[in-house]
Each structure stands twice: as C-alpha cells, then as structure tokens.
Amino acid sequence: MNRPVVGVSANAHLIEESYRVQGSGERTIEAVAAVADAVPMILPGLPGMASTGELVDLLDGLVLTGARPNVHPEFYGEAETEAHGPFDRGRDGVTLPLLRAMIEAGKPVFGICRGIQEMNVAFGGTLHPEIRDLPGRMNHRMPKGEKDHGVIFAKRHLVRFREGGAFHRLLGATETVTNSLHGQAVWTAGRRVLVEGHAEDGTVEAIAIEGAQAFALGVQWHAEYDAAADPVSRVLFEAFGADARKARAARRGRRGAA
C-alpha cells in the first residue's frame, strides 16, 4: 500500500439506549480519502485497545474530528459542571496523548471543531464552556432542531487570520467565511499554541502548534463539510495529506535501511 494511513478519531454512541458503538462521521472519512488522498482508519476511543506508541508507529497522520461530547475539564484544571458536558472520557484518553506524540514524531495532525479544543488542552490551554454567554459574543451553535445540512453547515461568519501566519501562508488570504457549530472554544492558549485566526467577535477559530515539523493546525469550524469543493477546506486537507505522504515515505525509508 502506497497511500498514507490516517487515523480518524471516533466517538462513543449508544444505539437504542443499549448498544455501545464507536463511530466517526462519513464526511471526515471521505475528506481524508478523497482530498487528502490517504487511507482513513477509524480510531476507537478505547484507551486499552492499543498503546500510544503502537498508534504512532501505525499512523502517518491524525485527524481529530468534531463531536457533541466535550473535552473533560479536569484536563485543564476545572471542576466538572453541567455546562461543560457531555463528555467522552474514552476519547480523551486516546486523543490527548496521541496528538502530542504524533506532533513530536513529526507527523501531521489536523484538529476540527472538538479537535482544535483537544489540541489546545493537550498543550496546557483552557476552554470556555459556552462562548455565547460572554458579553459581545455571537451564538456559534447550529440552529436548534435543524436537520437540513445545507442550513446547518451554511457559512455564517468571517474569520480573520494572523498576517504572515501559517494559515495566511497556506491559503494566500488573511480572511475567509466559515460555518459555525460549537458551544465551547479556546479560552487561554496552551504552550506552543499560536492563535492564527479569530471570528468577528474575538472567538479563537484557528491555531497552529509552534515548532511542529509537519502540518499541525486546528480550526473551530467544520472543514470536512464539502471539503472537495470548498477552496479553503481543500487546501487544508491537501496540505495535511502531503505531509502524511512525507511521513509515510520517511517511515518506509527507515524500515528499508534497517
């Protein structure tokens, strides 16, 4: 197999209130396969199934997906409240150490929605449980009760990127318009976390990990939606895929030299 293998984080679900499953949205899987040109591998949020080291050896890249459950506040030093929930402790146990290890191994990581929050927390940052409650902030959540994906994922607000930063260099632009489907958001940036973009109301929308040897970017919007056609999403997934191919080539070269 020549294409890189990319881990796609899964989330816990309860079917018919009795059957536990691990799953990931098809749009992210399709974006990894069709736009990043990689083989997607769904990673269950079950920490005992594989060690972090085993996963780093197996994967050439990691995509951290959006999800309804939030990162548990104990990972950024806060007490659990109803506003912080719901949670997926199993996913936390897999993704937080794995994303750090992947970055340290020089392999690409792309955080989407919950994923940008995981990246920030993994490097010591904090989250705010409900951004819309802050003075002057807009409601970043999807329209309540809406089922039409064209409405849910409609572009709703402007994001301005740091001039000369990673997104500006990659996209060749200092702003874009994005969708918005989140309640929590980055509050204080973690060590090595560079804030690369803000919404019009000041909410953090894009980050990069300082000193990363490969693609290590996070976005608060859902970049997987219509990734093949959306020009910004396409550039991001293609750049991620290019670094995943480099990681795979380097891994194969080490094995060949052994």
pLDDT at site 155: 93
Q: Residue 144: pLDDT band by 50, 70, 90 thresholds? A: confident
Name which of 50, 38, 182, 45 is nearest 108 in CA terms: 38
Q: Other C-beta atoms within 10 Å of 84: how many? A: 20
State the Cα torsion 124-65-200-73 to the nearest 10°.
Answer: -40
Catalytic amino acids? 113, 222, 224
Question: How many angstroms separate the CA atoms of 225 and 209, rounded?
Answer: 23
Task: Compute the mean pLDDT over every residue in the chain, rounded to the nearest whole number.
Answer: 94
Q: What is the pLDDT of residues 16-44, one digit of tens each?
A: 888 999 999 999 999 999 999 999 999 99
Name which of 22, 119, 103 is nearest 64 in CA terms: 119
**Residue 123 near residue 209 (C-beta atoms within 8 A):** yes
Higher pLDDT, 138 or 229: 229
Mean pLDDT across 129-138: 86
Q: What is the pLDDT of residues 178-225, one digit of tens each?
A: 999 988 999 999 999 999 999 999 999 999 999 999 999 999 999 999
Q: What is the DSSP string of 101-128?
A: HHHHTT--EEEETHHHHHHHHHTT--EE
Please name each of the domains of the chain with its CATH number. Answer: 5-257 (3.40.50.880)
Kindly tell me the sign of the dihedral angle through the C-alpha atoms of 23, 26, 30, 36: negative
Q: What is the pLDDT of residues 41-66, one digit of tens each?
A: 999 999 999 999 999 999 999 999 99
